[in-house]
Amino acid sequence: MTDAHTTGTHGTGPFIAAIDQGTTSSRCIVFDKDGRIVSVDQKEHEQIFPKPGWVEHDATEIWENVQEVVAGAIVKAGITSADVKAIGITNQRETTLLWDRNTGEPVHNALVWQDTRTDALCKELGRNVGQDRFRRETGLPLASYFAGPKVRWLLDNVEGLRERAERGDILFGTMDSWVIWNLTGGTDGGVHVTDVTNASRTLLMNLHTMAWDEKILSSIGIPAAVLPEIRSSAEVYGNAKGGVLDGVPVASALGDQQAALFGQTCFAEGEAKSTYGTGTFMLMNTGHTPVNSYNGLLTTVGYRIGDKPPVYALEGSIAVTGSLVQWMRDQMGLIKSAAEIETLASSVEDNGGAYFVPAFSGLFAPYWRPDARGVIAGLTRYVTKAHIARAVLEATAWQTREISDAMTKDSGVELTALKVDGGMTSNNLLMQTLSDFLDAPVVRPMVAETTCLGAAYAAGLAVGFWPDTDALRANWRRAAEWTPRMDADTRAREYKSWLKAVERTMGWIEDEES
């Protein structure tokens, strides 16, 4: 994390701050009017694994870390709260917390989005209520990934909690709600809100009305008394109370992937971004109408600015991308550092006929096949570790192509260019391969921290720091662009081979094992 930024090259402000409460760490970034980074502070928190498949966070530790990184970023920038016009929030989505409104104490650790303890509950709800009902109203499949079933699990498994919840003593929130409630005073008048993007990931919000769905609440068994008020992504929710930002308006909230869409200024229908980290998340702006997916994607809210109509998105997620490079390094020992994979893969012209489908925990979009497992196909004695390295990078690019194709089928909109961010975008060979496989330009922005930037942009719009989205577009600067070099016949032939390799992964885990 770079701490080399100073305010010297950024004038005297004013500034916008953004908090990114992520899965592994919390950080705060201060931005200037040009959308450039002035200072950063970051702190990791503990990952708690009580049982296989269970993942938790200590929400008290997270709130302490948030206060620390906010103070750190302000000190590093050499500024005071008077220089900060607003603060925005972005967060790991779906991670679920219940806390006592009177004491401010969490009643249990937060259940993280990766946590699978609600699998059996989701199957039961699927039988009793039906998958189609959830997808029709919320845009989401009934899955342990989302917050609603996690709330129900806590109500069922923490002694006396349901009674306290029905009395109105318990508050539910995803991490945006927890941070905003504490920032705005906590037990001393803290504001209990969430934004439309985070609410759209709970399985509890009706995508069409932008309100909690009473029938679904009743089906899952969640009392409405615990729910935060749903607000837009860019408005003043309240002012910070205490701490280094005392009095500063808290003016935006966006789930992390939606914040990246906003930070990449994907404000027009058909514009898309893809974030390449451990896994990959691709979102496409579909305009003011929710587009139902018949091709394995999620329908979600992209953002909502104040009282303007909401903007919707299609989302495709890939479970294993950056983590496949880590696997090559840590489990296989084929490379010594993640950066080395580009050098190794560049030493050969192609994949030597080998295809690597990393279905380590099943296939995510567009297949959603938990019975799939990883496969390397097309091996001959000709294949070297360099060919395997190339196949590893190609796996990320082909999986992106599959999601892009699904988005085109669902929306009828062809991808014209893909804006990219995240750690893997430093791999130039991967970026060129992406452009080749998508047959579209791939563009990397100057500011890589698009998640925090999106939260800052939304907060800035809410307080008039930036006048409109055109001003944000004017800030967006290209660092690099890749254009397709592959001929159409080669692309079609190799895609066919990839799809054949994907087929080989399916049905590996028998029903009784899964």
CATH number of 117's domain: 3.30.420.40
Tokens of 493: 């032939």
Tell me the average pLDDT across 243-272: 95
Predicted local confidence at residue 134, as pLDDT: 87
Q: How many domains does the chain have?
A: 1
| pLDDT tens profile 6-45 | 334 455 689 999 999 998 889 999 999 999 999 999 998 9
Tell me the average pLDDT across 173-192: 97
Q: What gap in Å lies between CA 365 and CA 402, rounded to an integer? A: 8
Dihedral sign (CA 489, 490, 494, 497): positive
Q: Which residue has the higher pLDDT, 322 or 78?
A: 78
Predicted local confidence at residue 511, as pLDDT: 58
Q: What gap in Å lies between CA 66 and CA 43, rounded to an integer? A: 8
Tell which residue, 352, 351, 353, 371, has the closest CA to residue 361: 371
Tell me the average pLDDT across 159-188: 96
Within a domain: 30: yes
Tell me the average pLDDT across 379-404: 96
Pairing label, strands 298-303, 311-318:
antiparallel
336 CB neighbour count, 10 Å cutoff: 8
Within a domain: 228: yes
Within a domain: 359: no
Within a domain: 288: no
265 CB neighbour count, 10 Å cutoff: 23
Beta carbons of 258 and 273 less than 8 angstroms apart: no
Within a domain: 214: yes
Within a domain: 36: yes
- What residue numbers bound the domain in which 239 lies? 10-257
Average pLDDT over the chain reads: 92
| pLDDT tens profile 101-136 | 999 999 999 999 888 888 889 888 888 877 788 888
Is a pLDDT exceeding 90 seen at residue 204? yes
Residues ≥6 apart with Cβ < 8 Å to 442: 417, 418, 420, 431, 432, 434, 435, 481, 482
Tell which residue, 351, 379, 370, has the closest CA to residue 490: 351
